[in-house]
């Protein structure tokens, strides 16, 4: 799966979100991810950290290479999501890169926290000291640019006769009030009617969906994927019963 095209180079601004970062919501997310969703996991470990710098390049070893001596090539794969657990901070969504040459290729996930500290993670095994599991990000509502485009993303299809539409939109609102917002560069254009359709995305529970996703459901009778529909229904149900 590739990143949505309109997201462009990673230029993310964290904005205010209404999410309650207390233990309750985190608990719910942990429960959600254990409901049997097909969450893909991978094991990672921290190998190097340095402070952000302007002049003197730090000497680091990430798989035997200093990442500051190489061009980072983003890999064509979903981001990994490192859970913040019960802390008040956000989950970390990290892109995976590769550096090196034919003799030595190193795959890693960098993370810049508070514009101050760089952390570098590399794939590990569960037996490695300090290793942890990350979730593979899942994306909903990211579409190919045209029906003909060769793309792993789907094309929005109208589905008439779906009786759960109104309830789903209400439940989606519950999630969007709790989700983290991520601002993208540029504005998304609706694939079906051409209207301007949002410039940010929501992230929650390892899922990311654009703010304009609701427009496809409400105005073009598109039906969600089964996996995302399950996620939304379970989450909203948890919130409403507390
Ligand atoms: Zn439209």
Q: Among 135, 167, 200, which residue terminates a domain?
A: 135
Q: Among 135, 157, 190, which residue terminates a domain?
A: 135
Count the residues in the chain.
242
- Start-to-end CA distance of the chain, whole Å, equals 35
What percent of the chain is modeled with pLDDT above 70? Answer: 81
Output the pLDDT for position 88.
67
Compute the average pLDDT of residues 135-145: 93
The range of the structural domain enclosing residue 80 comes to 41-135
Same domain, yes or no, for 150 and 68? Answer: no
Compute the average pLDDT of residues 42-63: 93
Q: How close is the Cα of 139 to the center of ligand 1, in Å?
A: 19
Q: Among 78, 107, 135, which residue terminates a domain?
A: 135
Mean pLDDT of the chain: 83
Q: How close is the Cα of 146 to the center of ligand 1, in Å?
A: 14
Same domain, yes or no, for 180 and 108? Answer: no
Same domain, yes or no, for 180 and 128? Answer: no
Indicate the number of domains in the chain.
2
Same domain, yes or no, for 143 and 230? Answer: yes
pLDDT score of 138 more than 60: yes
Q: Give the three-class secondary structure for 210.
A: strand
CB-based contacts of 159: which residues, under 8 Å, 6+ apart? 221, 222, 223
Do the Cβ atoms of 123 and 42 come closer than 8 Å?
yes
Tell me the pLDDT tens digit for each residue of 97-111: 999 988 899 999 999
pTM > 0.85: yes or no: no
Same domain, yes or no, for 71 and 109? Answer: yes
Same domain, yes or no, for 10 and 91? Answer: no
Q: How close is the Cα of 84 to the center of ligand 1, in Å?
A: 35
Output the pLDDT for position 26.
38
């Amino acid at each position: 799966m590739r990143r949505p095209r309109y997201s462009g180079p990673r230029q993310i601004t964290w904005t205010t979100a209404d999410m309650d970062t207390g233990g309750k919501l985190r608990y719910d997310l942990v429960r959600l991810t254990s409901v049997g969703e097909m969450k893909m996991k991978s094991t990672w470990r921290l190998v190097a950290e340095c402070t952000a710098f302007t002049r003197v390049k730090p000497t680091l070893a990430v798989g035997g290479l200093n990442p500051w001596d190489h061009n980072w090539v983003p890999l064509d794969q979903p981001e990994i999501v490192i859970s913040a657990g019960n802390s008040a901070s956000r989950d970390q969504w990290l892109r995976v890169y590769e550096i090196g040459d034919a003799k030595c290729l190193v795959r890693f996930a960098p993370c810049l926290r508070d514009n101050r500290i760089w952390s570098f993670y590399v794939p590990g095994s569960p037996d490695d000291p300090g290793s942890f599991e990350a979730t593979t990000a899942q994306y909903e509502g990211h579409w190919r640019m045209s029906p003909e485009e060769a793309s792993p993303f789907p094309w929005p299809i109208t589905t008439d006769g779906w009786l759960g539409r109104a309830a789903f939109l209400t439940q989606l609102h519950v999630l969007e009030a709790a989700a983290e917002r991520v601002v993208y560069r540029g504005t998304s254009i609706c694939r079906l009617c051409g209207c301007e359709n949002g410039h940010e995305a929501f992230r929650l529970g390892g899922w990311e969906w654009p703010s304009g996703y609701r427009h496809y459901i409400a105005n073009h009778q598109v039906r969600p994927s089964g996996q995302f529909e399950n996620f939304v229904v379970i989450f909203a149900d948890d919130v409403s019963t507390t």
